[in-house]
Structure 1
Amino acid sequence: MRRPSRFSSFASVETRLHFRIDRERLSAASEESSETSSVSPVLGSQRNNTAGSSRRIGERFIILHYSPFKAVWDWVVILLVLYTGIITPYTISFLSDEDQKRTNLNAQAATRQFNRERTSIHALILIDVLVDMVFILDILISFRTTFVLKETNEVITSPILIAKHFVIDNWRRFGADILGALPWDILFYGNGSHSTMRLANCFKLARLLRLIEFIGNFQNSEYSSAVLVFLMLLFAIAAHWLACIFHFIAILERPNLLVKYSWLDHLAEKYEMPYLANDTLSGPDLKSKYLTALFFAMTSLTSVGFGNVAANTNGEKLFSILSQFFFFINKLLISSL
């Protein structure tokens, strides 16, 4: 019987050590794989929970287009649009003229103290700032309001799709909202003339484009009495606009007239409040000028024409012709409804 050599015994010992090391490595790898497999579902569930929670947070502030809040908010916006349609022409035509008078008084040291005692912050300025803030808030609400996809009649609640629909698909309304919501009178305050301030206030009239969509929905209403009231309101607003334009034409033409014969001069002569060359605040008061202009606009629209307030200058006569034409077109539109 052959005795094993020292080399063969050493090789067998080395082989057993390699087998033991391999078994330890395999057991360690299996333990790591089991731990990884047990941890990966937890990580996956955490990722899903995180994505779901972020999605829920994004959709938490979404406003449904048929919600009661959105219905009330739309009526508030429409009322503020009507307020803008009334106040903005009045500000451009009448209040801007009064501001220009106060500026002329401030230019002279003798009348600066007198103007400071009579000048106060007008309530309409504070109201206009609040209205501008509401229209800026309306743009933010539009970015969070759902809409119905026409192809599938599906209510879209994704914030990204809502923003894309509002900015790209409805770019006309988006541009009009941006143009009408910016506080242009505050941005141009102290940086321009009164003509620039009048132009800045004209940008607010872009809000009136919201009435087009409202009128289209309102005509489909079954309440005929409500439609009649709304048409009467539009007629009153049209008369208010014509009154403001009638006064604006007079204040533009009067400084260039060699003979003062505009309707403002006739009004000043009738009420014994003449315009004085050395007195900026002379002439008829603001209430008398507005009521007289509104009276002329109403008589022109209704074709009554009492004749006690007449168009004298060429600009006033042209305005009277256009207002009669406007009334004729308005009658045709109302009769077609």
Structure 2
Amino acid sequence: MGKGKVYSSFFTPLEFGFFRGLPENLFLLDIAGQIAFLFDIVVRFFLAYRDTHSYSFVYDRKLIAFRYLKSRFIVDFLGCLPWDAIYKACGRKEPIRYLLWIRLSRALRVTEFFEKLEKNIRIKYLFIRIVKLLVVEYYCTHVAGCIFYYLATTLPPSKEGYTWIGSLQMGQYHYSNFRDVDFWKRYVISLYFAVVTMVTVGYGDIHAVNVREMIFVMIYVSFDMILGAYLLGNMTALIVKGSKTERFRDKMADLIKYMTRNNLGKQISKEIKGHLKLQYDRSYTEATILQDIPASIRTKHNIFLEGKR
């Protein structure tokens, strides 16, 4: 389902911005995708999870179901609804289309996917991090580009000249009838507007025209300041090594070499790697919290825990 979540995360803004009612081929593809996500919801009612306190896996189906119902079930279920069909059935009422954005919650699962990749020592850590940063940057500009185009389509055709794309002229070509332009050309132009706005280049060839577009540009540029800090911080972290994940990867690589050299069995190797992963997951919890506490208090803490057992 990882690829499906990536597809959904990228297609949802595209559907919202460029399509008021999907064509038949995309509609069938969308329905197939939502059926797959419904299947994923069913699977999650049986998927064991690791308890955040004991760090042991929970296999009890009632606890698994209760935990999922309390957390993401409602959002996941709403995301699986065929909003395009509902939009058409309700007389194409515009507010219904805003419910498409519920599906963007799946983007959080994409970040979890990258976190798992970062722990995979078979893939270069630098490569994963660079790909992740490129995906984040492209995704933000992709969403912004789709919103830019959507704002242009909210005005009636008679006022399309008062939009950023309707007033655009490149060379001898004027985009006053931009709805008739090829889809990919409209998308590239929208993405271009988002990129030049993000990097604050300001060529002057493309700019906001009406008040709504200006308001969104201000919000988008403010967000870009945070995004820029995030990207810069991560690039710095790539140069200055020593992150928690890198230490884990180095230790895991050494451990695998040791187990291979000594021909350890699969079961014991699995247990050793599982223990190392558990240490990684809880390294910033119990150990970090207790290390700065005075020895006398730690002793009382240990006595208290022994008494509970």
Length-normalised TM-score, structure 2: 0.64
Deviation at 1:148, TM superposition (A): 2.7
Instruction: Return the match for 1:286 from 170, 183, 187.
Output: 183
Measured at CA, do residues 299 and 268 of structure 1 come closer, stay the same or move farther in structure 2, by a change above 3 Å? closer
Does structure 2 conserve the Cα–Cα contact (< 8 Å) formed by 1:132 and 1:182? yes
Measured at CA, do residues 262 and 165 of structure 1 come closer, stay the same or move farther in structure 2, by a change above 3 Å? closer
Deviation at 1:216, TM superposition (A): 5.6
Measured at CA, do residues 190 and 182 of structure 1 come closer, stay the same or move farther in structure 2, by a change above 3 Å? closer
Deviation digits for residues 118-172 of structure 1, max 9, x if unmatched?
xx953221111111011111111111112233444433323223222322xxx23
Which residue in 1 is equivalent to 2:132?
A: 230
**Does the alignment pair 1:186 with 2:90?**
no
Does structure 2 conserve the Cα–Cα contact (< 8 Å) formed by 1:146 and 1:157? yes
SS in 1 for 2:50: strand
Deviation digits for residues 188-219 of structure 1, max 9, x if unmatched?
44223241441342332232343454466566
Which residue in 2 is equivalent to 1:210?
A: 109
Which residue in 2 is equivalent to 1:195?
A: 94
Deviation at 1:254, TM superposition (A): 5.2
**Does the alignment pair 1:165 with 2:67?**
yes
Does structure 2 conserve the Cα–Cα contact (< 8 Å) formed by 1:218 and 1:227? no
SS in 1 for 2:154: helix
Does structure 2 conserve the Cα–Cα contact (< 8 Å) formed by 1:311 and 1:317? yes
Instruction: Return the match for 2:19 from 95, 98, 102.
Output: 95
Deviation at 1:291, TM superposition (A): 1.8
Q: CA RMSD in A?
A: 3.0
Which residue in 1 is equivalent to 2:43?
A: 141
Q: How does 1:278-317 map to 2 (within 5 A)?
A: 283-317=180-214
Same amino acid, percent of matched pairs? 25
**Does the alignment pair 1:249 with 2:146?**
no
Instruction: Return the match for 2:8 from 84, 92, 103.
Output: 84
Question: In structure 2, how many angstroms separate the alpha carbons of the residues matched to 1:271 and 1:326?
Answer: 32
* Rg larger in structure: 1
SS in 1 for 2:57: strand
Question: In structure 2, how many angstroms separate the alpha carbons of the residues matched to 1:254 and 1:264?
Answer: 14
Instruction: Return the match for 1:320 from 214, 217, 222.
Output: 217
Measured at CA, do residues 152 and 209 of structure 1 come closer, stay the same or move farther in structure 2, by a change above 3 Å? closer
**Mind listing any 5+ residue stretches in structure 1 that lack a counterpart?**
1-76, 100-119, 276-280
Does structure 2 conserve the Cα–Cα contact (< 8 Å) formed by 1:143 and 1:162? yes
Deviation at 1:220, TM superposition (A): 6.3
Length-normalised TM-score, structure 1: 0.59
Q: How does 1:3-22 map to 2 (within 5 A)?
A: none
Does structure 2 conserve the Cα–Cα contact (< 8 Å) formed by 1:268 and 1:283? no
